[in-house]
Amino acid sequence: MFSRMQAFAVPAAVLISSRAGLRTVCHSGFRGLTNMSATTPSPSTLPERVQSVVGNQPVFAQTMLRCHDPKQSISFYESLGLQYLGTLAFPEFNFSLYFLAVPDESVPAPPPSTAARSEFAKYLWSLPCITLELTHNWPGSDPPEVYVSGNEEPRGYGHIALSGVSPPKNSTVIGNGKSYNVLDPDGYSVLLRDSSTNSVVYSQVLLRVGNPRKSVTFFERLGMRRLARIEDEDNGSSSFYMGYYDEELPTENIESWLASLRIPVVHLQHSWRRPQKLVNGNEKPYRGFGHLGVICDDIYKVSKEMEELGYQIVRHPSPFLDVGEIAFVKDDDVGYWVELISRSKTAAEV
């Protein structure tokens, strides 16, 4: 089985493999990198990268998690170094969206809290960085829904990762050394890593996958590039790192390079020794993680071409109230959702 996985090489990237080079840093299948060897696959073994349909300069824009108490969740993520940007409230549908991001020079100040909903949405859809979107469904007459973290059977979503952050006081911590997992108020895992820099980096979103060929191809269609592949033979898993990265890929010190990246990547983890039942987070009773988001120029064209390629369009592109144009597309492996968001003008012009 492992030899079959090896045949799926990463074009213009590096295959990292070590029989004893990965150590467990926490429970639930999360792994840290240490003492790893790196080699470059032979170009003759590399499959062709599929063509992107998203156009120029797409932005990996969001990770959406459902939450029960937004005040508690915002306070928790602020303790990890994220900045609260603002809220989109939808009383028409009894839910609100809360957005946080890592403070950075590329993130302009948000509009005042008194700004119109449409103005804040234009600001969000112009940002060049990833945000954490917390969705709060307003309480009704029914008992509150129990959200799942994705790290207990059946699994799916794994975590977001932040570099340059230490565990906050009084938090539930799993692991020790240079990497930790902390649990947010709803039980979602956040992987924290030491960093050589003094600034926080929103570095990763982990999704477990059943068919890496399908999953890698799906994210390639959305313009992401295969950055690296990591094999964990001891635990029978393969990891594929995808991201929007245009520079030349390194051929050595890959683990250090991955840790130093200042862009968010999608970490696709495939457990080939022990296949798992996987869920996408959007079907009861296993709701929790909702979707990733990508900002692009023409969501109508992207949706049309993705549908022609056989992907399911969960929501066809159209305006959503006064907050812009959106669509949702589902991958053909686990069924994870990706929101397609029409790009606004630059934040300076909003």
Give me the domain span that covers residue 274: 1-350
CATH label of the domain that carries residue 73: 3.10.180.10
* Strand pairing category for 59-66 and 289-296: antiparallel
Token duo for residue 200: 């926080």
Q: What is the pTM of this model?
A: 0.86
Instruction: List pLDDT tens digits, range 42-69.
Output: 333 335 788 999 999 999 999 999 999 9
Instruction: List pLDDT tens digits, range 196-223.
Output: 566 899 999 999 999 999 999 999 999 9
**339 a catalytic residue:** yes
Q: How far apart are CA 159 and CA 23, in angstroms?
A: 18
Q: Which one is catalytic: 105, 325, 339, 349?
A: 339
Helices (H), 189-236: 212-221
Closest to 207 in 3D by CA, of 156, 249, 165:
156
Residues 6+ apart with CB under 8 A from 213: 8
Instruction: List pLDDT tens digits, range 98-150.
Output: 999 999 888 899 999 999 999 999 999 999 999 999 999 999 867 889 999 99
* Number of domains composing the chain: 1
Q: 189-212 burial, b for 16+ CB within 10 Å, e for fewer?
A: bbbbbebeeeebbbbbbbbbbeeb
Look-up of token digits 């970490």: 267
Beta bridge partners of 90: 95
